[in-house]
Structure 1
Amino acid sequence: MSTDERGLSLIELLVFIVVVGIAVTGVLSVFSLNARTSADPVVQKQALAIADSLLEEVLAKPYTYCDTDDANVGTASSTAGCASMAETALAPEAGETRYSNLTPYDNVNDYNGFAMTGIVDPSGNAVPDLNGYRASVQVQPAGAFNGIPAGETLFVTVTVTGPGNHSVTLSGYRTRYAPNL
């Protein structure tokens, strides 16, 4: 036989199989790592959605000098202008809860210190499949902010922790603005 018609020798074939085997092992290990961690983005995105929803709920509440049940809530320019119920504490008033239709949280500062294990909607109903998540809210005075005097702005921080201790923190500012809401 001439050298042009020769095939592969057994040694060349074995070397080829070993090289291809090593390459395939490397590629499969990358795929395996991706498959094991592919659920992480779902947990992260769910935690982000929960944090966004809770932050939006908090920032949508009024930030007033008076409690929303006070007669002067829309006109008071300081806590001294309240008829009876000034909104001074960074905590809910007695009897207020997030889950009550009769006495719900009615001001941004009522959410300070709020925490829940297992996600619950504002009506108090557990959200299916979100019992592995925890959420907490902190509200604190922001001080002077972009030309707005101190005492007129609150800094709200929402932290949500999901399965595997994946944590998401979102923050926002809430200022008082006309007509005092």
Structure 2
Amino acid sequence: MWSERQRGFTLVEMILAIVILGVGLAGVLMAFQQTARASADPLVNRQLLALAEGLLEEALSKPYKVGAGTGGTCRANFDDVRDYNGYSAAPCEVGGGAVASLSSYNLAVAVSAQTLSGVNNALRVEVTASRGTDTLSLVGWRTDYAGP
């Protein structure tokens, strides 16, 4: 049995639906474009953090020695924390070999003697990692403590 009521869409309703969906889709695609454009920024920040943490951990693992450090550019020769003072170079292996994929990054270290909560023999170690205009600094402390 046929019903007198018609079912379906009119041409005007169909065109209106297409226009509304098109505008909505354009807005969603613009949001995706912004997200894709800025998606590498967190990667750069994580890389800066990893490089700075690695060098800070390396420097703080060295023994505390009284006197000036020898310094230099080859970290393999650094035997105490003060040797890292003034170090500035692109990330490299401990032996000095360059890491080509990290050539746009730079690491710098500043070590200074300071008093920390009444402890006179304390060294403040600041590692700064940078790439272009992005910069990240980490600070650590090394004290001259008597071992067990």
Task: Please indicate the TM-score interval, normalised by the length of the shorter structure.
Answer: 0.7 to 0.9
Once residues 30 and 111 of structure 1 are traced to their aligned partners in structure 2, the CA distance between those partners, rounded to angstroms, is: 45
Q: 2:72 aligned with 1:97, yes or no?
A: yes
- Paired residue for 1:7? 8
- Paired residue for 1:138? 110
- Paired residue for 1:48? 49
Deviations 1:23-44 (A, max 9, x none): 1011111111111122222222
Q: 2:130 aligned with 1:161, yes or no?
A: yes
**Highest relative contact order (Cα 8 Å, sep 6+), 1 or 2?**
1
Larger helix percent: 2
Question: What amino acid maps onto 1:121 in structure 2?
Answer: E
Once residues 137 and 108 of structure 2 are traced to their aligned partners in structure 1, the CA distance between those partners, rounded to angstroms, is: 10
Q: Percent identity?
A: 38
Give the paired residue count.
Answer: 145
Larger CA deviation: 51-60 vs 10-19: 10-19
Listed as ranges, the gaps of 5+ residues in structure 1 are 66-86
- Paired residue for 1:30? 31
Residues 100 and 135 (structure 1), Cα distance of their counterparts in 2 relative to 1, 3 Å cut: closer
Question: What amino acid maps onto 1:56 in structure 2?
Answer: E
Aligned 1:55-74 pairs, distance under 5 A: 55-65=56-66
Once residues 99 and 114 of structure 1 are traced to their aligned partners in structure 2, the CA distance between those partners, rounded to angstroms, is: 9
SS of the residue corresponding to residue 119 of structure 1 reads coil
- Paired residue for 1:127? 99
Shift of 1:100: 6.5
Shift of 1:18: 1.1
Q: 2:119 aligned with 1:149, yes or no?
A: yes
Larger strand percent: 2
Once residues 41 and 172 of structure 1 are traced to their aligned partners in structure 2, the CA distance between those partners, rounded to angstroms, is: 23
Q: Is the 8 A contact 1:98 1:122 kept in 2?
A: no
Listed as ranges, the gaps of 5+ residues in structure 2 are none
Deviations 1:100-133 (A, max 9, x none): 65xx2222122122111x2112211001300010
Once residues 94 and 86 of structure 2 are traced to their aligned partners in structure 1, the CA distance between those partners, rounded to angstroms, is: 16
Shift of 1:60: 0.9
